[in-house]
A and B are shown apart, each in its own frame.
Chain A
Amino acid sequence: MINFQYLRTTSAKSALALLQKDKNSKFIAGGTNLIDLMKRGVTAPEKLIDINHVPLKQIELIGTKIHIGALATNSAVADHALIKEKLPLLSWALQAGASAQLRNVATVGGNMMQRTRCGYFYDTEMPCNKREAGSGCGALEGFNRMHAIFGTSDKCIAVHPSDMCVALVALDAEVVLLGPKGERKILFKDFHRLAGDTPQLDNNLKPDEMIVRVEIPLNNLAKHSYYLKVRDRASYAFALVSVAAGLELEDNKILSAHLAMGGVAHKPWRLTKAEEFLKGKEATEENFAQAAKLSMENAKGFGENNFKLKLAPNTIIEALNLAKRKA
């Protein structure tokens, strides 16, 4: 690993000031992705600002929203009584990601900021527009079994690897970003970007901003939600396809449906059309199948990942079935 300067800070304000002072600096929280990237030479910041002592670890109910600080660890959130009771979908998504060791260190903000696990992004000998703009995309016609089927561009077909983020999108989360002019709040579904012509940009966080917390509105989905992750082994692997499903049911009628998919796009992929279709309908296998079909419009395979065109709708149907049965 190329050496770097290391600074520690205890307040968000001073963290931001340090970041703004030097554009070659990066925050480090858990570091579980950043240190890996630095070891592989994918990134080489000149300065690391350790923000682990900034007080942003809160998990609390304020009014009708649950606030989670950007530095709360994945395991602290997943195991928190409030989250398990009110937002079990988030807890399950977190438990489906990484390993117990990584979750003890990885933070909510870091989870959002983690980079794709595309092999071409990690291999510095290979072309990758995300790592080095303009160098090309090795995955387009290469090994692309793990890659995107929605919202792709001819510059990049990488997927965002997070499970947590898929659940946050399904749960209508908002994310609060702190910049030089104070806080701004955006819908979390608008935090990550599609690759388009700028695959080097994963999200809409500005270079002089930091994530401070996420806010999730309370909902009536706890009884009927499920996070279904399909992967190459039973545990501790990135998703081929994952679905976060939450249903608000009255008898068998769907009052509202919340659906997002992981492993299929450059960002957590919300299934808006399916949600709209299911609203007011009966929770039947037939309607679930129709919702899945609607979700697959404009899906496109790139060879090795063509199997996702079948796997994705099947996963949507199964996740909805499991969410319905859960009580």
Chain B
Amino acid sequence: MHSSDNKKNSGDSRRDFLKKSSLITAVALTPSVAMKAAESQADEKFAELFEKIPLNITVNNKAYKASIEPRVTLLDYLREELHLTGTKKGCDHGQCGACTVHVDGARINSCLSLAVMNEGKKITTIEGLAKGEELHPMQQAFIKHDGFQCGYCTSGQIMSAVACVREGHTNSRAEISEYMSGNICRCGAYPNIVDAIVEVKEGGMNV
């Protein structure tokens, strides 16, 4: 596949790809949509379904160039390609918030964003918050207030908490709870998480 990726803009490469690949293996592993497409429109469509898309993306201030299938989510790209495994896969359906990262400063669920939709964007993950050995104030506050138990939701909680403070949705405990409701904690550390956010907000720290 790599040979075709390198010159994927040329029409020849698709046919090359088909010639070079084992078609039988490909068909056996190919889902029904590709099968249907292959039957109806011969090799062009079939080959295109394997096409990779170039991606330029900045993650934690480091620029990356990649070539990836369009179906790869931002979450899977961060974890599987860049090995930034601090961002967690919880539900993988946008319901739990464990995968929360910042895209151009805004918090989003990385499981519901295709990596290719983030072309040219700046991503911050939990790994990008600390300055060297010095933890981010929100990380320190989570430790101080015991804002976690098992820790699985914690990176998402912290990314969301930092955004919550930056957005200014921290005027009361109720408002904090409302704006943190996209991050689920099965251990039930919610009151402690709110304590941590209140402290960072009241400390007027630069987040």
Q: Which residues of A contact B (CB under 8 A)?
A: 1-6, 8, 28, 31-32, 35-36, 38-40, 44, 46, 48, 50, 52, 75, 98-102, 104-105, 234-236
Contact = CB atoms under 8 A, between A and B. Distances in A.
Interface residues of B, number: 42
Given A46-B33, A50-B117, A100 B48 contact: no
7 contacts: A32-B109, A50-B116, A99-B183, A101-B182, A102-B94, A104-B106, A104-B108
A111 to B, nearest CB: 14
A75 B163 CA distance: 13
A8 B70 CA distance: 11
A4 B107 contact: no
A91 B148 CA distance: 32
Interface of B: 31-34, 37, 45, 48-51, 53, 69-71, 73, 92-94, 97, 100, 106-109, 112-114, 116-117, 119, 160, 163-164, 167, 169, 177-183
A8 B108 CA distance: 21
Given A44-B33, A235-B177, A101 B113 contact: no
Contacts of B73: 35
Given A3-B34, A46-B37, A235 B181 contact: yes
Contacts of A50: 116-117
B70 A4 contact: yes
B177 A104 contact: no
Contacts of B112: 31-32, 35-36, 102, 105
Contacts of A8: 119
| Closest 3 A/B residue pairs (Cβ) | A99-B182, A6-B70, A235-B181
Contact of A101 (B93, B107, B117, B178): B107
A236 B109 contact: no
Given A2-B34, A4-B70, A39 B92 contact: yes
B33 A2 contact: yes
A32 B94 contact: yes
Contacts of B116: 6, 50
B93 A36 contact: yes
Contacts of A48: 70, 114
A5 B117 contact: no
A73 to B, nearest CB: 8
Dominant secondary structure of chain B at its interface with chain A: mixed
Nearest to B168: A79
Contact of A2 (B31, B93, B100, B181): B31
A50 B163 CA distance: 26
A75 B179 CA distance: 12
A6 B52 CA distance: 9
A101 B71 contact: no
Contact of A6 (B94, B114, B178, B182): B114
B168 to A, nearest CB: 10
A3 B69 contact: yes
A39 B70 CA distance: 13
A4 B33 CA distance: 9
B182 A102 contact: yes
A3 B71 contact: yes
B48 A39 contact: no
B70 A3 contact: yes
Contacts of A102: 94, 108-109, 112, 182
B179 A35 contact: no
B34 A35 contact: no
A125 to B, nearest CB: 16
Contact of A28 (B100, B107, B117, B178): B117
Contacts of A5: 48-49, 51, 70
A6 B53 contact: yes
B51 to A, nearest CB: 7
Contacts of B106: 75, 104-105
Contact of A235 (B33, B97, B178): B178
A1 B51 CA distance: 15
B3 to A, nearest CB: 19
Nearest to A36: B93
B113 to A, nearest CB: 6
A115 to B, nearest CB: 14
A38 B114 CA distance: 12
A35 B114 contact: yes
Contacts of A52: 117
B19 to A, nearest CB: 21
